[in-house]
Chains A and B, each alone.
Chain A
Amino acid sequence: MAVCIAVIAKENYPLYIRSAPTENELKFHYMVHTSLDVVDEKISAMGKALVDQRELYLGLLYPTEDYKVYGYVTNSKVKFVMVVDSSNTALRDNEIRSMFRKLHNSYTDVMCNPFYNPGDRIQSRAFDNMVMSMMVQVC
């Protein structure tokens, strides 16, 4: 399903990043990095409207030849970025949305773990498994 999932802290450093084809990891890191500008743009462009509707999903950030990059930002300005294969046309907006919601719930659980210090890299096994399950699902 997704080929790369990243969680970015408020200050724009990565809390978590994982990509499915491990051989080309750097490419995805760049892709996520680039997308952050788009995220910022989107937030400031329609910041007011987003806050009013409590809409966290940012939609498609930008498409490349082979991939599509989607974004989601929590109210505490933590960003989730997901890269999906653009050949996968079965993925609709709604599915992406629900995947982000799942990611958000899982992230909340990580935050509630008393042994996790906010701002650290996420090393939770439960979170890892959840992300993995989203990556292998119907490839």
Chain B
Amino acid sequence: MSRQANRGTESKKMSSELFTLTYGALVTQLCKDYENDEDVNKQLDKMGYNIGVRLIEDFLARSNVGRCHDFRETADVIAKVAFKMYLGITPSITNWSPAGDEFSLILENNPLVDFVELPDNHSSLIYSNLLCGVLRGALEMVQMAVEAKFVQDTLKGDGVTEIRMRFIRRIEDNLPAGEE
């Protein structure tokens, strides 16, 4: 009960170094446990998915946002409310496709990669792939099937980090087809 009580809309402060190092430890451990980077990417996505399907409940409870009427509104809520709440950053939304079913989230600084330098032997590792999983999992719980993937990454020498989101379809039945 006490946990419920302190769950307000304001976010709690936490050491960003601890957060970054924890995520770093997680990824490097995965790199040790799996042979190739593709498996690590897959695993990160899966873990993110599992976080996302839980996190959406917390998000809806805390943020008081209503139902979104179109994908643009969803994009706004993700960038301005969700990212702000959980990572303390506000990515910008650009590159809408003409049909309005694809957009890019541009992260100018990604708190997950603060100290990270990718070694040469992990060139195909998508370090922050967890985020894609979270987005996919969370949106699936609100009847939206999306695809999220990194198209630019500061770790790979790009100027910014870009996550491309693509709307696939509405999930009609109320029981989401999850993996778990």
Query: Which chain A residues have a beta carbon within 8 Å of chain B's beta carbons?
Result: 109-110, 112-116, 123-126
Contacts and interface: CB of A to CB of B under 8 A. Distances in A.
A123 B118 CA distance: 11
Contact of A112 (B27, B28, B114): B114
Given A114-B25, A114-B115, A115-B28, 8 more contacts: A110-B115, A112-B114, A112-B115, A114-B23, A114-B27, A115-B122, A123-B119, A126-B117
A114 B122 contact: no
A115 B21 CA distance: 11
B20 interface: yes
Interface residues of B, number: 15
Q: Is the interface of B mostly helix, strand, loop or mixed?
A: helix
A115 B40 CA distance: 14
Contacts, number: 32
Interface of B: 17, 20-21, 23-25, 27-28, 114-119, 122
Q: Is the interface of A mostly helix, strand, loop or mixed?
A: loop
A139 B130 CA distance: 46
Nearest to A113: B115
Contact of A124 (B17, B28, B114, B117): B117
Contacts of A112: 17, 20-21, 24, 114-115
Contacts of A114: 21, 23-25, 27-28, 115-116
A125 B17 contact: no
From A110, A112, A123, A125, residue with most partner B Cβ within 10 Å: A112
